[in-house]
Amino acid sequence: MRQEQTKLSIGDFIDLWYKVKQKGVQSIVSLLQVSGKARVASKWNTHITSADCWILPEIRMRWNEDSTGNADLQYEDYVMQKYLSQAQGLRMLSVGCGTGARERKWGRYEQFVLIDGIDIASQQVEQAKATALQEGLHHLQYFAGDFTSQAFEHAPYDVILFNSSLHHFADISGLLEHRVTPLLKPDGLLIVFEYAGPNRLQWRDDQLVFANKVLQALPAKFRVRFQSHSLKKKVYRPGLWRVKLIDPSEAVDSANLVPAIHQHFDIVEERRVRYDIAQLVLKDIAHHFLDADPEAKKWLQYVFDKEDEYCDRTGNRDMVFGVYRKKRVV
């Protein structure tokens, strides 16, 4: 399907209005006064997830099902059971660690003696440090900085993890070749759980049409935006200007993510994950589906059923879970 690109859309003005209501005018004005890296750090230091679809347990269960074949089995536990259960003395580097939840999960396995996490958002890193200390996970270390230039004294690593972070890098192929592979042991594992859809979130034409049909089918009371009295009436393709303004790193080379990995790594295991319709429909309205209201759950299942229909018909799945090893040099 043809993929349009939009420099500016009506949806940009709608999103701008809600961001002003949530964060204030000054937070938007400040974006015009800082560098690209500073805007990335600011975005993730103040990221609001209350209305994002991944707050829903059912979404995470679908991701588990697609990644591990079991809705109740997270990919970290799956990888440990399948690939690392007999290992000892493992060292991991987690790129884009955020507040450290992933590293804490890996770090509870005795196979790991050290886990380094790095993120450009310093406030999240400080939270990750404090929580790890509270939980007695002293073999977890966190750094605030730029992965592309940070020195890692514990390299090479047995495992390098990208969880929703690799798609934020430009020239993913170059990053994998020149930065990631030198930090990974010859027999080490690269693990990714990543968005791999259209660059800059420039949704496909058929994807937008389908998502809007699903949105319009929802009762009005489930389309009221988070912290607002306004209805979500339409899914828009975000304008390139706004995407770059809010987060210059957002999905800059995401469409090339999987081909780039294949270029530099051998596939141990790879599964595509459904992320094509639900995230578009549920953005800003996901909070309605958090409680146990039977009607809300019925409509949430409707969204999932329609997403399945779209993915089955098109063959598209905009996320990927994968386990890889470096290509052997012949």
pTM of the model: 0.88
| Tokens representing residue 68 in the block | 């591990």
Tell me the CA distances in angstroms from 319 to 163, 183, 226, one per residue in order.
Answer: 11, 25, 25
pLDDT value for 29: 47
How large a percentage of the chain has pLDDT more than 90? 78
Instruction: Render pLDDT for 23-66 as a digit per residue (tens, 0 to 9).
Output: 555 554 444 555 566 655 555 556 555 568 999 999 999 999 99
Q: What is the mean pLDDT of the chain?
A: 90
Radius of gyration, CA atoms only, the chain = 20
One-letter amino acid at 196 equals A
Q: What angle in degrees, to the nearest 10, is found between the helix axes of 205-217 and 294-314?
A: 160
Domains of the chain: which residue ranges? 27-52+82-326
SS3 161: strand
Closest CA to 58 of 234, 309, 271, 299: 299
| Tokens representing residue 304 in the block | 């999932």
Among positive and negative, which fits the CA dihedral 154, 155, 158, 160? positive
pLDDT value for 94: 98
pLDDT value for 328: 81
Assigned CATH class of 27-52+82-326: alpha beta
Taking residue 302's Cβ as centre, other Cβ atoms within 10 Å add up to: 14
